[in-house]
């Protein structure tokens, strides 16, 4: 039975995991350390941890499980240092890093079977960082990938799964190499593309100053992740070099192919290009967070007057319903409501429907 857990790194992911563990297992004692003291203090105030550790390696002789939830480069440095630290016999160490092969290699090299290391990666997150963005339900319905090393037993795996039960994530196992190829294509490479689209738009600004103001729906949707933490993504790219180099080759030859289709005005093949992409994109699981976090959207048909947003958010605040996003849809042609509210869970959306009908006559729609 796990009684004491130690979290190193109390930001978005560490904070969210600690919150969910405390919520479902209040009797587990959670100790936390963050190099940024303010984060640790906030984690304590928010109830994510029971104790703040004043140092990276306090007395860990009673700790049953350690979560390393720092950026990937710091994670391997911490693993290296752990080899000289006295730990409880049978302790399980896991991490949450977005890359796995290098981290697991490091664990094999420095912990050398002396310590059970289980690589981990919850496949949900945000472009926001820090404990203030953490939520106990962040990983609900998301995939949570584990990459156990050969020294790990099924009992050790079950122990980690038990601790993570409250996340309501869908836990799956993969090899680190398989993990890095898959996340390369659906997470790491898209972050590169998003950042490069933003740079391209920025380079147009000198001659077309309207670029910024015209960058609306589509551009914002595809580039949201370009607002993610730059140093975190630099390190993810450096860790996942080989799979990414292959993806660059594949992407560039695909871009070359599409470029030729445009140059040759090949309307049939261009149509096929978009049709195939639409077919695959439309078939992605919607209510599952997976690699693409799903949001429960609600459309509200509201009159277009100043103050309407604060009116609606005011109703939701009265009932303590939390929103993840709010947006005015500028076309009324096909979408009934002009206001799009996004919620993290289906339950929040249901509560919002009841709430809006309680305080107003505005119609709500789910599309
Ligand atoms: N952001 C996402 O969407 C996401 C999703 C899944 C996994 N991850 C992975 O989770 C990890 C953490 O990411 P995050 O989004 O929570 O970042 P974050 O910036 O919100 O949190 C990281 C925390 O680690 C702390 N930290 C840094 N170096 C430290 C050290 N040496 N000792 C102790 N604390 C240290 C920072 O002060 C910060 O509070 C990363 O490895 C990332 O790849 C991120
Ligand atoms: O939603 C986002 O902002 C994310 O980037 C989350 C995201 C992803 O690429 O899907 C980012 C990194 C992770 O390792 C896992 C999830």
Domain of residue 216, CATH code: 1.10.3660.10
Residues 167 and 40 in one domain: yes
Task: Tell whether 278 and 316 lie within a shared domain.
Answer: no
Residue 200 lies in a domain: yes
Q: Which atom of ligand 2 is nearest to the CA of 123?
A: 15
Assigned domain for 34 exists: yes
The ligand 2 atom at the shortest distance from the C-alpha of residue 127 is 3
Q: Whose CA is nearest to atom 8 of ligand 2?
A: 187
Assigned domain for 303 exists: yes
* Residue of the CA atom closest to atom 37 of ligand 1: 36
Residues 152 and 204 in one domain: no
Residue 287 lies in a domain: no
The response to whether residue 225 sits with its C-beta less than 6 Å from ligand 2 reads: yes
Which atom of ligand 2 lies at the shortest distance from residue 236's CA?
A: 14
Long-range contacts of 270-275 (CB under 8 A, 24+ apart): none
157 and 186 together in one domain = no
Same domain, 22 and 161: yes
State whether 334 and 350 are in the same domain: yes
Q: What is the pLDDT of residue 94?
A: 97
Do 170 and 186 share a domain, yes or no? no
Does 187 lie in the same domain as 168? no
- How far, in Å, is the centroid of ligand 2 from the Cα of 127? 7
The answer to whether 118 and 94 are in contact (CB under 8 A) is yes
Residues at CB less than 6 angstroms from ligand 1: 8-14, 33-36, 39, 56, 69-72, 74-75, 96-98, 121-122, 125-126, 129-130, 229, 232, 236
Residue nearest to atom 16 of ligand 2 (CA): 124
- C-alpha 129 – ligand 2 centre gap (Å): 11
Residues 270 and 314 in one domain: no
| Closest ligand to the CA of 188 | 2
- State residue 349's pLDDT score: 92
Q: Whose CA is closest to atom 3 on ligand 1? A: 125
Q: What is the pLDDT of residues 74-94, one digit of tens each?
A: 999 999 999 999 999 999 999
pLDDT of residue 243: 98
Does residue 128 form part of some domain? Answer: yes
User: Are 170 and 188 part of one and the same domain?
Assistant: no
Token pair in block for residue 236: 């993810």
Query: What is the number of the ligand 2 atom nearest to the C-alpha of 98?
Result: 14
108 CA from centroid of ligand 2 (Å): 26
Judgement on whether residues 200 and 165 belong to the same structural domain of the protein: no
Cα(236) to centroid of ligand 2, in Å?
11
290 in a structural domain: no
Tokens of 166: 């409250």
Q: Is the CB of 126 under 6 A from ligand 2?
A: yes
Establish whether residue 69 lines the binding site of ligand 2, counting it when its CB lies within 6 angstroms of any ligand atom: no
Domain-terminating residue out of 282, 314, 340: 282
Residue 333 confidence (pLDDT)? 43
Give residue 109 CA to ligand 2 midpoint distance, Å. Answer: 28
98 CB less than 6 Å from ligand 2? yes
Query: What is the count of structural domains for the chain?
Result: 3
Return the ligand 2 atom nearest residue 122 CA.
Answer: 15
**Cα 280 to ligand 2 centre (Å):** 20
Q: Are residues 166 and 184 in the same domain?
A: no
* Boundary (domain end) residue, out of 132, 150, 174: 174
Q: Is there a contact between 297 and 341 (Cβ–Cβ < 8 Å)?
A: yes
The CATH number given to whatever domain includes residue 356 is 3.30.70.260
Residue 102 sits in a domain of what CATH number?
Answer: 3.40.50.720
Q: Is 43 in the pocket of ligand 2 (CB under 6 A)?
A: no
pLDDT at position 278 is: 94
Please give the distance, rounded to the nearest whole angstrom, from the Cα atom of residue 98 to the centre of ligand 1: 10
- Atom from ligand 1 closest to the CA of residue 128: 1
Domain that holds residue 97: 4-174
300: in domain: yes
- pLDDT of amino acid 330: 56
Q: Using CA atoms, how far apart are residues 193 and 155, in angstroms rounded to an integer?
A: 41
Residues in the chain with pLDDT < 50?
291-292, 331-336
Please tell me if the CB atom of residue 127 comes closer than 6 angstroms to any atom of ligand 2: yes
Residue 364 beta carbon below 6 angstroms from any ligand 2 atom:
no
Residue 291 lies in a domain: no
What's the number of CA atoms in the CB half-sphere (13 Å) around residue 90?
A: 11
The pLDDT of residue 230: 97
Residue where one domain finishes, among candidates 240, 260, 282: 282
Query: What pLDDT does residue 356 have?
Result: 94
């Amino acid at each position: 039975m796990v009684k004491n857990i130690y979290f190193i790194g109390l930001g978005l992911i560490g904070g969210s995991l600690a919150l969910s563990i405390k919520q479902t297992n209040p009797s587990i004692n959670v100790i936390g350390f963050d190099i940024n003291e303010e984060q640790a203090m906030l984690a304590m105030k928010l109830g994510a941890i029971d104790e703040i550790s004043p140092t990276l390696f306090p007395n860990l002789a009673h700790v049953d499980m350690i979560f390393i939830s720092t950026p990937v480069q710091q994670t391997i440095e911490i693993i290296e240092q752990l080899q000289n630290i006295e730990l409880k016999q049978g302790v399980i160490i896991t991490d949450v890093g977005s890359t796995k092969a290098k981290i697991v290699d490091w664990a094999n090299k420095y912990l050398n079977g002396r310590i059970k290391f289980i690589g981990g990666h919850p496949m949900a997150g945000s472009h926001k960082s820090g404990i203030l963005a953490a939520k106990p339900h962040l990983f609900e319905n998301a995939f949570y990938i584990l990459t156990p090393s050969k020294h790990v037993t099924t009992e050790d795996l079950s122990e980690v799964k038990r601790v993570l039960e409250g996340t309501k994530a869908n836990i799956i196992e993969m090899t680190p190499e398989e993990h890095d190829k898959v996340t390369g294509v659906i997470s790491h490479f898209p972050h590169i593309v998003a950042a490069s689209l933003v740079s391209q738009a920025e380079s147009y600004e000198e001659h077309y100053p309207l670029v910024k103001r015209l960058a609306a729906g589509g551009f914002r949707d595809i580039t949201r992740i370009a607002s993610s933490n730059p140093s975190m993504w630099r390190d993810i790219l450096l860790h996942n070099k080989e799979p990414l180099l292959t993806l660059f080759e594949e992407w560039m030859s695909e871009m070359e192919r599409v470029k030729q289709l445009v140059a040759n005005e090949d309307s049939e093949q261009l149509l096929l290009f978009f049709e195939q992409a639409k077919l695959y994109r439309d078939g992605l699981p919607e209510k599952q967070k997976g690699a693409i976090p799903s949001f429960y959207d609600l459309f509200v048909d509201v009159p277009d007057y100043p103050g309407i947003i604060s009116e609606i958010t005011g109703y939701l605040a009265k009932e303590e319903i939390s929103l993840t996003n709010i947006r005015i849809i500028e076309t009324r042609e096909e979408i009934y409501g002009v206001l799009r509210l996004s919620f993290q869970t289906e339950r929040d959306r249901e509560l919002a429907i009841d709430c809006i009908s309680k305080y107003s006559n505005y119609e709500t729609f789910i599309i």
